[in-house]
Amino acid sequence: MTTRLSVLLLYCLSASALASAELPDTPEALATYVDGFVSTLQREHQLGAVTVAVVRDDALAFALGYGLADIESGRPVDPERTLFRIGSVSKTFTWTALKMLAERGAVDLDADVNDYLDDMQVDEAFGLPVTLRHLMHHRAGFEDTMRLFAVTDDDPRTLAELVAEHQPARVFPPGARTSYSNWGSALAALVIEQVSGVDYATFVREEIFAPLGMHDTTELPPAKMGEAERGRLATGYRRKLGALELQGFMQIGAYWPAGGIASTATDMARWMRFHLNGGELDGVRLMSPETHAAMFTRGFDDRPGAADVAHGFQDRPYRGVRTLGHAGGTAAFLTNMILVPELGVGIFVSQNTTSTAATIEHFPDLIVDRLIGHVHVPFEARRDDAGAEALAELSGTYLNNRRSFTSFAALFGLVNVVNLEAVSAEDVVAGMMGEEILFRRVAGHEDLFESANGGRVQIIRDASGRPEAIADPMGVHTAERVGALNAPAALYTAIGLAALFALTTTLGAWWRLGRRRNEGVAAWIAGGAATLGVITVAVFITAAVTLAAGFADFDIADMPGNYPTWQMFFVHWASWGTAAAALVMLLGQWPAWRAAGGWGLWRRVHFALFTLAVLFLVVQLWQWRVFGAPVY
């Protein structure tokens, strides 16, 4: 603990000194600032390798490498040669390709996407078509699916076959909600294939990588790279035993357009310069300035003061400037790319360990802070219960819409919860992922709130003016407000009540041992129903514990061939057993109340309450699709 506090103190002191020092605004000064930030995080979080590129005024300000790309061989990071997997930053190539095709007249972004699909069709829903513009803004209304991450890189299925087989349900009308969709991005890549007449890999290589001189960028997964190229790829690591161990590479097969590209810091610097220059790099223009300007506009601007999506790019207001870009993560790699057009600045950072997200979350913002002269000032917490009444309508539980709604995976939505609490007339506290963040109302905006770190959330209201959702600081997620019976707390309460009554039923049976009289057949039937309830609840809780334990050390690289997991099926069938037991217990109320000789009033009431608790649990399990839905 002492070491941890010392490192944090060193970081705070060095960051404060760098922010306040009147250093010249030069690449050297920025590089010095970056050195201090990255070296502190390397030591504190056991980061294996980090690569950084900053461009400014159509030039590479600097490209830096930190640590070892491979610990065993001692291979250092070279920002010009070391390949890092950039995850969902790969999608920026898809969106750019679509804009290029739109400029050529090959696609209409507002036409039904089915017009461009030969091998599959998007299912009908809501009486409205899905368009390419919906896909580019993550507003098509698809539920999330984890099946993308269960495809191996040597899977023979084509992108068209995978997209058709794994089509998720449409759960929101197109345009209504921003909800990130990997599947929707893969569908967009399929459109590019079918419109251009070549596979997506050929299109991006010949139409984007080669013209822009991005010769060190590849779509090949590690297993398919040549020996030389594989030798340049940073090795993935994860924290283990207080150090680092090898981490397998994430596999997604033909879904790679959604997150499978690997690149170098200097190649990504060229990509940033291309976009900062309005679609041109070193005399090579891939789209007109007008088309590129349109790309950086929002197609659904219903939250102008908050973050959203601009044709595939995360569009985020920050400290009075506008940032556009994309973040990405795979099994071992975290990446972020931020463009600040009004400053002429682009920032790219990637790392080969996921032990901390601070590098990609805070580093780009700190560079912007440095350039605009902003010094961080924390908010002072203030609780005013009387004043909080003004914002009381915002308090409640919100569930992230990036989740499954129709399969067992809906259960995993339990971790994507935002608990919002009004604490004063101007402040709300958002509790998510075990962290509390205070957001203060932005002056002049009723439903817009900003944290001390500059992140903003927007309250979305329904037609009657009631709060119904929250737009998150990243711009790609929306969390929907849910009632008490639909909140995770209701499921946890149901499990707790069922467990309590199962335990007290067991204790009652133990107490009656040796004291029983001949209670008759009806009493034995009712008692058997109660015993069945105890057994099924115990089995379900055992299954739930094994599921939680199985995902405690969850490794997305192991999903191919192991998803759905046996623990998921265990919970699924245990839930069916609980439902069957609930029915038997309900039928057992008749002999318990009408003919169970020797049963006192308390025992009958207890059994009735136990039955209600199990029924409540069954309703909750059905609502969370633990049973009565496919397991995936």
H/E run at residue 597 = none
Looking at the predicted structure, is the pLDDT value of residue 23 above 70?
no
Q: Which of 189-198, 317-326, 588-597 has the lowest mean pLDDT?
A: 588-597
pLDDT tens-digit map of 365-424: 999 999 999 999 999 999 999 999 999 999 999 999 999 999 999 999 999 999 999 999
The rounded distance, in Å, linking the Cα atoms of 235 and 330 is 13
Looking at the predicted structure, is the pLDDT value of residue 8 above 80?
no
Q: What sign for the dihedral angle of Cα 427, 442, 345, 22? A: negative
Instruction: Report residue 24's pLDDT band, with 50, 70 and 90 as the boundaries.
Output: low
CB atoms within 10 A of CB 530: 26
Q: Which of 12-21, 77-86, 92-101, 197-206 has the lowest mean pLDDT?
A: 12-21
Instruction: Report residue 521's pLDDT band, with 50, 70 and 90 as the boundaries.
Output: confident
Give residue 604's Cα distance to chain centre.
47
Q: Determine the angle formed by the axes of helices 182-196 and 91-103, rounding to 10 degrees.
A: 40
CB atoms within 10 A of CB 499: 17
Instruction: Report residue 15's pLDDT band, with 50, 70 and 90 as the boundaries.
Output: very low
Q: Can you point out the beta strands (E) in 344-472?
A: 345-351, 396-400, 417-422, 427-432, 435-441, 448-451, 456-461, 467-471
Looking at the predicted structure, is the pLDDT value of residue 13 above 90?
no
Looking at the predicted structure, is the pLDDT value of residue 1 above 70?
no
Instruction: Report residue 515's pLDDT band, with 50, 70 and 90 as the boundaries.
Output: low
The rounded distance, in Å, linking the Cα atoms of 86 and 88 is 6
Instruction: Report residue 263's pLDDT band, with 50, 70 and 90 as the boundaries.
Output: very high
User: Counting Cβ atoms within 10 Å, is residue 444 exposed (0-12), middle (13-18) or buried (19+)?
Assistant: exposed
**CATH 2.40.128 boundaries in the chain:** 385-482
Q: Spelled out in words, what is the top-level CATH class assigned to the domain 385-482?
A: mainly beta
Q: Which of 24-38, 410-424, 556-570 has the lowest mean pLDDT?
A: 24-38
User: Counting Cβ atoms within 10 Å, is residue 518 exposed (0-12), middle (13-18) or buried (19+)?
Assistant: exposed
Given a contact cutoff of 8 angstroms between Cβ atoms, the answer to whether 97 and 257 are in contact is no
**CATH 3.40.710.10 boundaries in the chain:** 85-372
pLDDT tens-digit map of 335-372: 999 999 999 999 999 999 999 999 999 999 999 999 99
pLDDT tens-digit map of 295-329: 999 999 889 899 999 999 999 999 999 999 999 99
Q: What is the pLDDT of residue 343?
A: 96
CATH architecture of 85-372: 3-Layer(aba) Sandwich (3.40)
Q: What is the pLDDT of residue 427?
A: 98
Q: What is the pLDDT of residue 21?
A: 39
Question: What percentage of the chain reaches a pLDDT higher than 90?
Answer: 89
Q: What is the pLDDT of residue 554?
A: 81
The rounded distance, in Å, linking the Cα atoms of 79 and 26 is 20
Half-sphere exposure of residue 149: CA atoms within 13 angstroms, side-chain side: 23
| Cβ-Cβ contacts under 8 Å for 120 (sequence gap 6 or more) | 160, 163, 164, 167
CA distances from 187 to 94, 100, 107, 141 (A): 10, 17, 14, 13
Q: Which of 53-67, 222-236, 294-308, 516-530 has the lowest mean pLDDT?
A: 516-530
Q: What is the pLDDT of residue 559?
A: 94
Looking at the predicted structure, is the pLDDT value of residue 6 above 80?
no
Q: Which residues pair with 431 in a beta bridge?
A: 419, 436
Looking at the predicted structure, is the pLDDT value of residue 20 above 70?
no
pLDDT tens-digit map of 115-174: 999 989 999 999 999 999 999 999 999 999 999 999 999 999 999 999 999 999 999 999
The mean per-residue pLDDT over the stretch 172-200 comes to 97
Whole-number mean pLDDT of the chain? 93
Half-sphere exposure of residue 337: CA atoms within 13 angstroms, side-chain side: 30
pLDDT tens-digit map of 32-83: 999 999 999 999 999 999 999 999 999 999 999 999 999 999 999 999 999 9
Q: What is the pLDDT of residue 388?
A: 96
Looking at the predicted structure, is the pLDDT value of residue 447 above 90?
yes
Looking at the predicted structure, is the pLDDT value of residue 454 above 70?
yes
DSSP notation for 88-154: GGGHHHHHHHHHHHHHTTS--TTSBGGGG-SS--PPP-TT---BHHHHHTT-S-BPP-SGGGG--TT
The mean per-residue pLDDT over the stretch 276-293 comes to 98
Q: What is the pLDDT of residue 14?
A: 40
